[in-house]
Structure 1
Amino acid sequence: MDLKDRPIGFFDSGVGGLSVLKQAVKILPHEDFVYYGDSLNAPYGIRTSDKVKELTFNAVKILINKNIKALVVACNTATSVSIEDLRKQYAKSMPIIGIEPALKPAVKNKKNGKIIIMATPVTLSESKFNNLMKKYNYNDNIVPMPCPGLVELIESGIVEGPEVEGYLKERYSCLIETEIASIVLGCTHYPFVKKALIKVVGEMGKDPFIIDGSSGTVNQLKRQLLKYDMIKKPGDEKGTVRIFNSLDTKKIIDLSYKLLSIK
């Protein structure tokens, strides 16, 4: 198989990375994609760094065995913990693209108020995130918000309704009197509850700029494919998407395709 015709591999701790894959399908419609979610071991955000690294490398080996030409680690936690080691091992073979909280566009927004960064506890504790904070934390306006339990809700298929809204109301209850400029969705699962989030903060009388790292990650993927002349030649046919998951159940695969098709 010609290198350009090989699929692009996407990995996440579960179904969250599908939010990034959705952007990739839009921006690179002629490419083929293979997605692997490790829902059996989700969430990564409550595990030790060593365990996250072990699980990430195991998943990447599965994708490499599917003859991929590039790898997107569409998981903030896995990127924080493992991206440097992945590049040391595989960068000579293929482009390795990670994702991180979209703090830069949130800071550039220039709107008055706090910048809330929703992420898993592990992502917020890793040095990669702390270095990102130091880079942009020119004042006290950046507020990390750990969200334990939110990934589990999304993995179970609950992305809207009373349970998700109740969770978000509890998280934001301490910010009722706080002006919020932006909300950064620092986990690839979180865009799937964006509708519920908009409703909850709207009921609090707030209208923040809500952003995630999907577009930036996919644009970087496209740049790397062009750089190494690996991009698939446009044709009449759109690319394909194959989804695999460590749970290997009809329920999780059906949920994955459903989330991929959500507007």
Structure 2
Amino acid sequence: MNRVDSPIGVFDSGVGGISTLKVLAKMLPHEDFVFFGDSGNAPYGEKRREEVQRLTNNAVQKLLTHHIKGMVIACNTATSASKPMLLEHYPDLTIVGIEPALKEAVDNGAQNILVMATPLTLAMPKFQRQLRLFSGERHIETLPCSGLAGLIECGAQRLDDVKDLLRRLLSTTSDTQFDAIVLGCTHYPFVKDLIAECIPSHPRFFTGYEGLTRHLTHLLDDKNLLRTGNEHRSIEFLSSSVNPHETDLYRELFTSSIESATQFGR
């Protein structure tokens, strides 16, 4: 296969990366994709950094067997814990990773910002540096959402539990009228409407997906690896879950939402 025609690998700890894949597929309409969800080990957000690095490296090895020309780490936790290691180990592979879109919210003029993410993502040095950089000019609160990604991973069968957890988590924030919410985990956009119901100030949501895709496009273009046409686009779904229907869930979430999906993870 001509390397230009090789697919782009997309990796997440579970179903969350499907939200990123949707934007990638829309903005790069000529590219093939291989998505790998590590649902058998989800969620990552409360694991030790070394364990996340091991699992992420295993995912890269799996995607490399599909002769990918680039890889998107569609998991904030995996990006925070593993991206520097991956760049060192795979210098010839184009690698980008999603990170909490705090700068995007600031650049768009937000003054009162809530960052929702996993405990590990919020604790990582790179995010902490960003937080210190912008906190002097903005009111920024962080909300560690322990357990939320795991519930979302289960699909609509745990939707009531998701709603209860969101109400409890958001009740611990201040009375600030947030004008922006940064969704620092790729699972969270699937329940964005439920989050909005708990925030009366009608904030804007930021994920960073468009910026990530533009960055990937630029890197691939620099290497002359962008496709200019593709009559038979392929998007393949892979999972580490023992549930034989897990990839059915991925496909369904790619075209619908967690509330309307009829197949569920576990």
Q: Same fold (TM over 0.5)?
A: yes
Kept after mapping to 2: 8 A contact 1:29/1:238: no
In structure 1, how many angstroms separate the alpha carbons of the residues matched to 2:86 and 2:232?
Answer: 30
Please list the CA deviations of residues 3-49 of structure 1 after superposition, one character each: whole Å capped at 9, or x if unmatched. Answer: 11100001111111111110011001111000111111111111000
What is the CA distance between 1:133 and its match in structure 2?
Answer: 1.4
Are residue 107 (structure 1) and residue 114 (structure 2) matched? Answer: no
Please list the CA deviations of residues 48-81 of structure 1 after superposition, one character each: whole Å capped at 9, or x if unmatched. Answer: 0011101110111000111100011111000001
Tell me what 2:28 maps to: 28
Kept after mapping to 1: 8 A contact 2:35/2:237: yes
Tell me what 1:229 maps to: 224
Are residue 243 (structure 1) and residue 240 (structure 2) matched? Answer: no
Segments of structure 1 that go 5 or more residues without pairing to the other structure are none
Structure 2 letter corresponding to 1:95? T
Tell me what 2:249 maps to: 255
> Structure 1's 30 and 248: CA in aligned 2 closer, same or farther, altered over 3 A?
farther
In structure 2, how many angstroms separate the alpha carbons of the residues matched to 1:238 and 1:24?
Answer: 17
What is the CA distance between 1:183 and its match in structure 2?
Answer: 0.4
Structure 2 letter corresponding to 1:52? V
Q: Which runs of 4+ in 1 moved over 4 A?
A: none
Are residue 157 (structure 1) and residue 152 (structure 2) matched? Answer: no
In structure 1, how many angstroms separate the alpha carbons of the residues matched to 2:219 and 2:168?
Answer: 41
TM-score scaled by structure 2?
A: 0.91
Please list the CA deviations of residues 156-214 of structure 1 after superposition, one character each: whole Å capped at 9, or x if unmatched. Answer: 0139853322221111113463211210000011111112112222xxx2211111121
Tell me what 1:191 maps to: 189
What is the CA distance between 1:127 and its match in structure 2?
Answer: 1.0
CA RMSD between the two structures: 1.7
TM-score scaled by structure 1?
A: 0.92
Tell me what 1:87 maps to: 87
In structure 2, how many angstroms separate the alpha carbons of the residues matched to 1:25 and 1:154?
Answer: 22
Are residue 76 (structure 1) and residue 71 (structure 2) matched? Answer: no
Are residue 6 (structure 1) and residue 6 (structure 2) matched? Answer: yes
What is the CA distance between 1:257 and its match in structure 2?
Answer: 0.9
Instruction: Give aligned pairs, total.
Output: 257
